[in-house]
Structure 1
Amino acid sequence: MLDDLARQHERLNTALESTPTEIWRNQYHPDLSPIGWHYAHCHFIEAVWLRERILGHAPPRTRDWHDLYFPELSPKWRRGGRLPALDRLIPWGRELQFRHRDWLARHAGILDHPLMANEYLTGFLAQHHAMHLETLAQVRWFARLRGPDPALSEPHLQAPEITSQSWLEWDAVHATVGGDDVLVFDNEKGVHGKELAPFAIRRDPVTNGEWQAFMQEAGYHRPELWSREGWDWRKAHDIQAPLGWRGSGTDIGLQVLPEGMVQRNADAPVVGISRFEAEAFARWAGARLPHEHEWEHAQREGSLRGTGRVWEWCGNPFAPYPGFRPFPYDEYSAPWFDGRHYVLRGGSDWSDPLLKRPSMRNFFTPEKRHVFAGVRLARTMEP
């Protein structure tokens, strides 16, 4: 776990040090904080857990730390201007990284704490940082989307990917879902059984080429394919294509990704779609979104292909598993069991391997397009 944490530390350092100085304080999307804030927040959270909650130390300067780096105390739009200078932030972060890893390796007051059983807290912090690093990729994406279109760069061309439209089918089945590994979060904890009706699920995610066909058949302009809420959202925001697409019609076109402008590969999984769009596509294709339990069963038993390329929207809202208990703090999952957040599974090209286990549950409201999401189709089978 310490090796995993050290790897995330170095990824954080690289992410900030490679960010152009003119953008590290900027907010490019209402849901996304500046890159520098994410860097500082990750180190602040380590300090809170280790210094304050385990060792019982008082915060050194509450106003500078808690009022800025606790998300609930600091509106996103205010964060960039309150950050320390970059030449102070990076040395501060590296100093805390060294100190915290040393404490996690040898400090008796920390190692004897119940949260350190099986290195739980070390793994929790590593995953926390991995999630923020994926968010940093989303910030870079919007920084590119807000700027002039960059020139197409040869090194960023996507390699072809062979896919098919084959399906995996199950009769009614007793599925086992959830996880008991030390890394699992509270919302995925607890292995339990679920009875699933007969279903089929696509072996591969929906591709750019398939999405192009949806657009050519006026999928964005046919209200019968959309939920009422989704259609109102599409019209209000004039949504015409996945986030970052350049060109449409019969032209395969280009797309902007966090790394820059790329040629859009027809066989690559579509990315940058909301759940509203995923649902409309599924209706157009004569299918539906999979329930997350169908997805997890198929991933464990049927070798889904293409997982970990895009987060895949599921059909069900984010809800607690039987016996759910908040851990290690009340606010990680429980506030989002509100019927408005929906589950995504699988991980993306910008997710760390720590976050790509079969039981991992991501969750967002259905209009979000910046979360590196795509879709895999499912169908209900006749019993």
Structure 2
Amino acid sequence: MTGTTGTTGSTDTDTAGSGSGTAGTAGTAGAEALRARALDALVAARDRTLRLTSCVADDDLTAQHSPLMSPLVWDLAHIGNQEEQWLWRAVAGRDALRPEIDSLYDAFEHPRAERPSLPLLPPGEARAYAADVRLRILDVLERAPLEGRPLLDAGFVFGMVAQHEQQHDETMLITHQLRKGPPVLSAPPPPVHRSGPLPAEVLVPGGPFTMGTSDEPWALDNERPAHRRDVPAFHIDTVPVTNGAYRAFVADGGYTDRRWWHPEGWAQIREHGIGAPLFWRRDGGQWLRRRFGVTEPVPEEEPVLHVSWYEADAYARWAGRRLPTEAEWEKAARYDPATGRSRRHPWGDADPGPEHANLGQRHLGPAAAGSYPEGASPLGVRQLIGDVWEWTASDFLPYPGFTAFPYKEYSEVFFGPEHKVLRGGSFAVDAVACRGTFRNWDLPVRRQIFAGFRTARSAELD
């Protein structure tokens, strides 16, 4: 995506797909249902964008709060520019509205650290530009056929644009977390779910399962095609690793013991003096964290957040375990042993609801470990969707039969050992950009993203 990414690989790219359970247009009624779904997705994304950019003054919008992130005003105009390029130009076939700004908002042409020095549109002009494009696009959506071209089939391009905006909303939320100053965002805490004691881990049976998808209408190219993958039996944590569990690693000298660390990770923590998750600090006898401008005690029951792949890997080694592979994670999330099929989501094929997962910035942090029992997988694994992105052991690589779409810069240029795969989404991810097959990726050093992890072990070690 995240680039996410934005926050991660998937959210820093300039196009993306999105999830939908609707298959095909199925005549006029189906086409109208797709239009309604696309409209809802576009409106929800824009509402969130406006919330994230209207809560601060213009000088905050133009400031770069971290060299890892763009100024918020860049994201705002970039969202409008991508919408113009894909929907106004590519779909409607109309002339460019602002061709002179295309290069300014090309994420591949200008690294984030350089973007504040560009002649960006000022906040008022960026807002007006994005609003003007959106008004034109609503007419395009009403008139465009939703079949006959790969970009239009099942409304893919509209879902792609909505997901792109939501991914940049997650990116902007990360910028808000990095921003200094008093809090400007608020949300209720996640609901408390009590369902009794849970087992520490779940056994996932060995054997083949279907990984990826070939029939999810708004899925990204890197999620395709569906293919059979044989996975030996393994155990996986029932819930993500918590702050309390991670604190034990810190207290045991985990950051000072070279045995647990990948060599590159050890070099990172030594060079930068890292001794705890990002935003944690020690105050006397307790750990505190900063969260969207608020300093508070680290809650032991929440999944740990803001750790790099290297930190997750070191913890797993310290605990005598390992990170799950991407295939293991997806099998734990989707495989139904009663039917042998792979579900869209852990709970089934229905779109995510508030009872299933912590998504969409409804809350400004993860829920306590063990929450959302209605979102559990058939095997009983909790919180696989939402709350925190989960690092896996796997490099970001194409599936067998991969075909780049709509262009190779979305996924193909990121394939390789440099990027690690994250799965599951976080509290900052919208449901339109999250499903059981969704793949995110980022550099293993990244800590500002809303990432945690869970651990696994091979069943053959029993």
TM-score (norm 2): 0.76
1:260 corresponds to 2:294: yes
Question: 1:158: how far off?
Answer: 7.0
Partner deviation per Cα, 1:296-318 (whole Å, 9 max, x = no partner): 11112324212311000000101
Alignment of 1:84-123 (within 5 A): 84-107=121-144, 113-123=149-159
Partner deviation per Cα, 1:155-188 (whole Å, 9 max, x = no partner): 8777767675521113322121112311210001
State whether residues 160 and 267 of structure 1, in contact with CA within 8 Å, keep that contact through their aligned partners in structure 2. no
State whether residues 66 and 73 of structure 1, in contact with CA within 8 Å, keep that contact through their aligned partners in structure 2. no
SS in 2 for 1:211: helix
SS in 1 for 2:151: helix
* Distance (whole Å) between structure 2 residues aligned to residue 377 and residue 268 of structure 1: 16
1:6 corresponds to 2:39: no
Question: For residue 254 of structure 1, what is the amino acid of its counterpart?
Answer: L
Q: Which residue of 2 aligns with 1:280?
A: 314
Q: Which residue of 2 aligns with 1:70?
A: 106
Partner deviation per Cα, 1:79-132 (whole Å, 9 max, x = no partner): 335222222222222222121122112246x87644111111111111111111
Q: Which residue of 2 aligns with 1:139?
A: 175
Which protein is richer in helix relative to its size?
Answer: 1
Alignment of 1:18-97 (within 5 A): 18-63=55-100, 65-81=101-117, 82-97=119-134
Partner deviation per Cα, 1:188-237 (whole Å, 9 max, x = no partner): 12111111112110110000000111111011110001011110111011
Question: 1:12: how far off?
Answer: 1.1
Alignment of 1:195-234 (within 5 A): 195-234=230-269
Partner deviation per Cα, 1:54-90 (whole Å, 9 max, x = no partner): 3444434433x11211112334234335222222222
Higher RCO, Cα 8 Å, sep 6+:
2
In 2 relative to 1, CA 4–156 (structure 1 residues): closer, same or farther, beyond 3 Å?
closer
In 2 relative to 1, CA 154–343 (structure 1 residues): closer, same or farther, beyond 3 Å?
closer
State whether residues 292 and 316 of structure 1, in contact with CA within 8 Å, keep that contact through their aligned partners in structure 2. yes
Gaps of 5+ in 2: 1-37, 336-378
State whether residues 158 and 265 of structure 1, in contact with CA within 8 Å, keep that contact through their aligned partners in structure 2. no
1:124 corresponds to 2:124: no
1:356 corresponds to 2:434: yes
In 2 relative to 1, CA 56–42 (structure 1 residues): closer, same or farther, beyond 3 Å?
same
In 2 relative to 1, CA 138–353 (structure 1 residues): closer, same or farther, beyond 3 Å?
same
State whether residues 104 and 111 of structure 1, in contact with CA within 8 Å, keep that contact through their aligned partners in structure 2. no
State whether residues 88 and 136 of structure 2, in contact with CA within 8 Å, keep that contact through their aligned partners in structure 1. no
* Distance (whole Å) between structure 2 residues aligned to residue 316 and residue 154 of structure 1: 35
* Distance (whole Å) between structure 2 residues aligned to residue 101 and residue 28 of structure 1: 33
In 2 relative to 1, CA 139–127 (structure 1 residues): closer, same or farther, beyond 3 Å?
same
In 2 relative to 1, CA 380–43 (structure 1 residues): closer, same or farther, beyond 3 Å?
same
* Distance (whole Å) between structure 2 residues aligned to residue 30 and residue 165 of structure 1: 42
Question: 1:349: how far off?
Answer: 0.9
State whether residues 12 and 133 of structure 1, in contact with CA within 8 Å, keep that contact through their aligned partners in structure 2. yes
* Distance (whole Å) between structure 2 residues aligned to residue 164 and residue 216 of structure 1: 25
Q: Which residue of 2 aligns with 1:312?
A: 390
In 2 relative to 1, CA 16–320 (structure 1 residues): closer, same or farther, beyond 3 Å?
same
Question: For residue 421 of structure 2, what is the amino acid of its counterpart?
Answer: V
Question: For residue 266 of structure 1, what is the amino acid of its counterpart?
Answer: E
1:327 corresponds to 2:411: no
In 2 relative to 1, CA 155–41 (structure 1 residues): closer, same or farther, beyond 3 Å?
closer
| More deviation, 70-79/237-246 | 70-79
Q: Which residue of 2 aligns with 1:174?
A: 208
In 2 relative to 1, CA 250–262 (structure 1 residues): closer, same or farther, beyond 3 Å?
closer
Q: Which residue of 1 aligns with 2:279?
A: 244
SS in 2 for 1:382: helix
In 2 relative to 1, CA 191–154 (structure 1 residues): closer, same or farther, beyond 3 Å?
closer
Q: Which residue of 1 aligns with 2:416?
A: 338
Q: How many residues align?
A: 375
SS in 2 for 1:133: helix
* Identical amino acids, percent of aligned pairs: 34
Question: For residue 264 of structure 2, what is the amino acid of its counterpart?
Answer: E
* Distance (whole Å) between structure 2 residues aligned to residue 90 and residue 285 of structure 1: 49
1:269 corresponds to 2:303: yes
TM-score (norm 1): 0.91
In 2 relative to 1, CA 181–157 (structure 1 residues): closer, same or farther, beyond 3 Å?
closer
In 2 relative to 1, CA 193–258 (structure 1 residues): closer, same or farther, beyond 3 Å?
farther
* Distance (whole Å) between structure 2 residues aligned to residue 36 and residue 228 of structure 1: 38
SS in 2 for 1:229: helix
Question: 1:254: how far off?
Answer: 2.3
Question: For residue 24 of structure 1, what is the amino acid of its counterpart?
Answer: L
Partner deviation per Cα, 1:136-156 (whole Å, 9 max, x = no partner): 011111113xx5xx59x9987
